[in-house]
Chain A
Amino acid sequence: MSGVFYFISAVTVAGALAAVLLRNTIHCALALAVAFAGLALLFLSLDAQFVGFVQILVYIGAVVILVVFAILLTRDSEAPNQGVYSRTWLAGLVITAAVFAFLAWAVLASLPGLPRRAVAPAASVQDIGNALMTRYVLPLEIIAVLLTAATIGAVIVAMHEKARSK
């Protein structure tokens, strides 16, 4: 199992690095899709079926498409040929290292609390549904309201632009 884990995580990290380091923005978006796919595979390897498939459905199927559309609609069609390294790369590296150290400490410190092996009945979709409808119904509704507000806001912004450019 660990061999599979290393392979999938190598793919994920490579995808994420490519998403940051490649020159062509569209290539970066597609490398991001590869990273998302790697994450989905990690979820699936942990028997979290629902989350894995939702990761593919939502992230690769919608978020990457959104990113790609945003790039296409807001940029020139010419792919930028200059490098994407900024001059403040040292500060960025320091901050990244700090965030990584914090996350690693959080994960490693919580390891003793987790069971050694994956529990046999993984959280089935029914359990997730039950939990969402009983214990986590308030966050669900708040997220729904947030999404609705975002959608309505996008429509209003687009409508205003249409009315203004008439």
Chain B
Amino acid sequence: MLGEGLLKGLAETARNFVGSYVSKERLTTVEYPDERIPTAENARVFPFLVYDGSDWQAGMRCVACQICEKECPPKCIYIEKSKDKKPDYVGKQQFYPTRFDIDISVCMSCQICVEVCPFEAIKMDTQFELATYDRFGGLLMDREQLSRSNEYYHNIHPTEASEVDAHLAEEKVKVEAKAAAAAPAAAKPPAAAPAAKPEAATSAAAAPKAALAMPTPEAEASAAKPAALEEAPPAGGKD
């Protein structure tokens, strides 16, 4: 009650004042935009589309499945699917988006599109200095503006990108293993092939609208297997 608290308070502010000239921890101001602190690794701002390789159209991972468009809470993604297909990273023929627009003035950076994408095609970017004077479309990014290479992804989110690459490599290995496992079966006598052709036709028709188009040698290899038991698991597995 005698004012010691007042004097302690004065000493603390004096320490702050003097310390701000000598030590960095007493002056934590970052003079943006002259100085910048690096963003954290798991910072997220707006989405971007990942492409492998150097051609953004050929290497784009997005297959226009439109799951992110449906899951987006403010509905800021607009996708138009193509009519033809192009091969993806394992060689399968996939659709691709002819139009992929994200209105980043609407996007709320919730990352749901990233979480639901089964193809690791859309990831979160860290760029936030996107202010523009154009009110009527300056913040509507089309698929060319949204595409960034996998190297860029590695730059901004190294840990995540390594995990994604590992996962995709695994998938590729699995697919190649299946292809290799099915290859010797394809070397079986082609005599079974004509007899298996109607079966192949029925099994191809019986297989419901598979989201995946099967590569031709595999279908023939699976159809060539004489036992129906051996046929069903691969067909069911590929569904």
Do A and B touch directly, given a CB cutoff of 8 Å in the complex?
no
